[in-house]
Chains A and B, each alone.
Chain A
Amino acid sequence: MKIQYWLNGKVENDEIAPGQMLYDLLRKKGCYSVKCGCETTACGLCTVWLEEKPVLSCAVLAARIDGKHVTTLEGLQGEAQKFARYMGQEGSDQCGFCNPGFVMNVLAMVRELGNPTEEEIKEYLAGNLCRCTGYVSHMRVLKQYLTEKGKGMRL
């Protein structure tokens, strides 16, 4: 079947199988930032935005993006570069495999929540697993990032 959609702002037309998942389509389209870590919708590595909302691309039928906007980290390089410096300074990038999905959800959170508390941040990002860092450095990164973005955090 044919679908038309926007990938990172550009119109795309693709012929897809009815059962194809968005994750597989995006990898095929060269969006290598999108990773798979679990196959059971539990890890958050495949997070992309569908109509600006973070979703698990492994659980979205490609058929369902017809007429919609999909954003991957490839389409948010400016913001990703800025955020990466905070991650790098804390050493919280580590193996890096979970980073793109994490960054996608962080950037969605920044848009959705005003000035979140630590608990709200943890809850928003709870679907992003990471085995290297133990998460603690993520919070240090977010505190700095949010503060310097002028959003701040409620404590």
Chain B
Amino acid sequence: MNIVHYIKAKSLEEAWQLNQKRSAVILGGCCWLRMSPRRTLATAIDLTGLGLDEIHETEEAFYIGAMVPLRQLETSDSLEVFTQGAMKESLRHIVGTQFRNLATVGGSIWGRFGFSDVLTLFLALDAEVDLYKGGRVPLSVFAEQKADTDILKGVYLPKKKRQTAYASLRLNATDFPVLACAVSRTADGVSCSVGARPMRAQVRCLPAGTGMTPDDADRAAKEVADSLSFEDNMRASRVYRHDMATVLCRRLFLQTAGEGRK
């Protein structure tokens, strides 16, 4: 890569100060950043060593540090149980083990990529981001914002009894998703997010008990799909994505309606 200054920040404050300059960038796992070899980064800020690479579990929430690699999420037993396997399902298709040992949660969330499986699932889990200056912000709000010069410290996954499921369609197993869907059901409501439209994921909050029967699941899935916009790209057409959103959401409604994971 083309980096003029590489700085391993000694504190978040230092990182934040450095990041206020244009053409400064916070490094995640570098998996995406390295795709633009011609881009010049005046200052590359490394957050390793600031303790952001851990998953903490409290009574109230999981706190996932921004520098936690995706592979750590995937292999976390408590997240596996918490999401009935949806966490692993959302991650296991992403390139390969070696890639997921590098790519970070922070990079995935901060980038707000259209293709992001992580963003899609976390939206359904009612996640909140923890920003150095901005504090706790619902991910659904953050996902709609443009990148600024704040720093993402981590992500909260509020602990609540929930049934979650994830599904995606891909041209082949390790490709970007053609479409990604996540449904998470609590006593208070049902969150249904759809990503790779191919624009970034959006979430729809539905009343509790939505989609418990095949007919209602079908109706609700259609409603969700119709409420979202889709576009063509080289992987699929707008129409296919719309129709697949209906299929996948219906399946996930029913999957989460049953006891645990199918």
Contact = CB atoms under 8 A, between A and B. Distances in A.
Interface in B66-105: 71, 92, 95-99, 101-102
Contact of A127 (B3, B29, B46, B95): B95
Nearest to A66: B8
B240 interface: no
A60 interface: yes
Nearest to A58: B34
Contact of A61 (B1, B92, B96): B1
A149 to B, nearest CB: 19
A75 interface: no
A121 to B, nearest CB: 11
Contact of B6 (A18, A124, A127): A18
B6 to A, nearest CB: 4
Given A1-B6, A19-B41, A58-B34, A53 B101 contact: yes
Given A19-B41, A59-B30, A64-B46, A41 B99 contact: yes
B3 A18 contact: yes
A50 B37 CA distance: 22
A123 B102 contact: no
Interface string A35-61: 000011110100100100111101111
B98 A21 contact: no
Contacts of A17: 3
A17 B4 CA distance: 9
Interface string B28-58: 0111001101000100101010000000000
Interface string A70-109: 0000000000000000000000000000000000010011
B3 A19 contact: yes
A69 B166 CA distance: 36
Contacts, number: 82
- Which interface class (under 10, 10 to 19, 20 to 34, 35 or more) fits B? 20 to 34
Contacts of B196: none
24 contacts: A19-B6, A21-B1, A39-B37, A41-B31, A42-B95, A44-B98, A53-B101, A54-B97, A56-B31, A58-B34, A59-B30, A59-B34, A60-B30, A61-B3, A61-B6, A61-B30, A61-B44, A64-B46, A105-B97, A123-B92, A124-B97, A125-B97, A127-B98, A127-B99
Given A18-B44, A47-B98, 15 more contacts: A18-B3, A41-B34, A41-B35, A41-B95, A54-B98, A55-B102, A59-B30, A59-B31, A59-B34, A64-B48, A105-B98, A123-B92, A126-B174, A127-B96, A127-B174
Counting from the closest, the 7 A-B pairs by CB-CB distance are A127-B96, A19-B3, A18-B6, A19-B1, A18-B3, A54-B98, A63-B6
Interface of A: 1, 17-19, 21, 39-42, 44, 47, 50, 53-56, 58-61, 63-64, 66, 105, 108-109, 123-128
